[in-house]
């Protein structure tokens, strides 16, 4: 079983999302993979409806959440609002949010806690920049992101970690087998130490229908967080259909 999580980012209107699933439903097979589509807020409900409407096994996800219950936070969205749209998962701490929207490890930590407390899956993203890798800081960076991002989190039942080297996101440059294996092993060791149980670790960064078999065969890879390839129904269906 692999976790196949799409990250649509700021793409797809309601009409686009419906057209995507029309095409996707003809291509996807019943497998035991867990498929998640993290969509813009405006189409989370459209994704959530696919189970009933088209008999598609997909969990609807979002790409951000605010940790507060409610209040004066213009432009933000709460866990209760997401849940009311049958949202079951949230991407937290994506590198685009860390760099473009200046999210700190501390803020990300609050979001992880709020999401897990609400019973939704938290897809907690970490990863080093090219500069950090070239300065041999990869493991230090990952350790800091994990220690701060998961500080005080006690329940790992709905926690997934997504290892996304920033230099591999949207670049067509996939991390090597060796890089993926050693980082996933490192992440698993840290997280297992904290929770006492295994936590799924997804790889993200230019994963697609052509390289996913190779990526999924790497020890310690429990699935993928997929950007570009998740926007194309045929590509995403091919990944959702993965079987070892």
**Residues near ligand PGA, by CB under 6 A:** 7, 164, 169-170, 204-207, 225-228
- In this chain, which residue has its C-beta nearest to ligand PGA? 227
Q: DSSP for 18-46, please give it.
A: HHHHHHHHHH----S-EEEEE--GGGHHH
CB of 80 to ligand PGA, least distance (A): 25
Question: Least separation, in Å, of the C-beta of 70 and ligand PGA?
Answer: 28
Query: Does residue 94 carry a catalytic annotation?
Result: yes
Whether the Cβ atoms of residue 190 and residue 150 lie closer than 8 Å to each other: no
Question: Of 103, 110, 164, 209, which is the active-site residue?
Answer: 164
Q: Is residue 184 flagged as an active site residue?
A: no
State the residue for tokens 């295994």. Answer: 198
Q: Residues 116, 213, 7, 140: is their CA dihedral positive or negative? A: positive
Nearest alpha carbon to residue 187 among 99, 127, 110: 127
152 vs 172, beta carbon nearer ligand PGA: 172
95 and 164 Cβ atoms separated by less than 8 Å: yes
Residue among 66, 94, 128, 209 flagged as catalytic: 94
Q: For residues 120 and 82, is the Cβ–Cβ distance under 8 A?
A: yes
For residue 237 the two structure tokens come to 């269906």
Spatial distance between the Cα atoms of 203 and 222, rounded to a whole number of angstroms:
8
Whole-number minimum distance, CB 236 to ligand PGA, in Å? 11
Q: Which is nearer to ligand PGA, 43 or 225 (CB)?
A: 225
119/170 with CB nearer ligand PGA: 170
Smallest distance, Å, CB 120 to ligand PGA?
A: 18
Closest to ligand PGA by CB, 60 vs 207, is 207
Residues forming the active site: 94, 164
């Amino acid at each position: 079983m692999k976790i196949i999580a799409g990250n649509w980012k700021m793409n797809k209107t309601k009409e686009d999302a419906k057209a995507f699933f029309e095409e996707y439903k003809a291509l996807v097979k019943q497998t035991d993979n867990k498929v998640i589509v993290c969509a813009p807020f405006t189409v989370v409900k459209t994704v959530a409806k696919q189970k009933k409407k088209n008999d598609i096994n997909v969990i609807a996800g979002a790409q951000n959440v605010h940790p507060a219950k409610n209040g004066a936070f213009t432009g933000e969205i709460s866990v209760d609002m997401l849940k009311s749209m049958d949202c079951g998962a949230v991407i937290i701490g994506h590198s685009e949010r860390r760099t473009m929207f200046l999210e700190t490890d501390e803020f990300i930590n609050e979001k992880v806690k709020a999401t897990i407390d609400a019973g939704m899956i938290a897809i907690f993203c970490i990863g080093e920049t090219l500069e950090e890798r070239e300065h041999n800081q990869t493991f230090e960076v990952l350790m800091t992101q994990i220690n701060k991002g998961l500080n005080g989190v006690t329940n790992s039942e709905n926690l997934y970690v997504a290892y996304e080297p920033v230099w591999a996101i949207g670049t067509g440059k996939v991390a090597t087998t060796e890089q993926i294996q050693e980082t996933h092993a490192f992440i698993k060791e840290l997280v297992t130490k904290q929770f006492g149980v295994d936590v799924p670790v997804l790889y993200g960064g230019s994963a697609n229908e052509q390289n996913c078999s190779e990526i999924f065969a790497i020890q310690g890879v429990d699935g993928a967080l997929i950007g570009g390839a998740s926007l194309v129904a045929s590509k995403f269906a091919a990944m959702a259909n993965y079987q070892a």
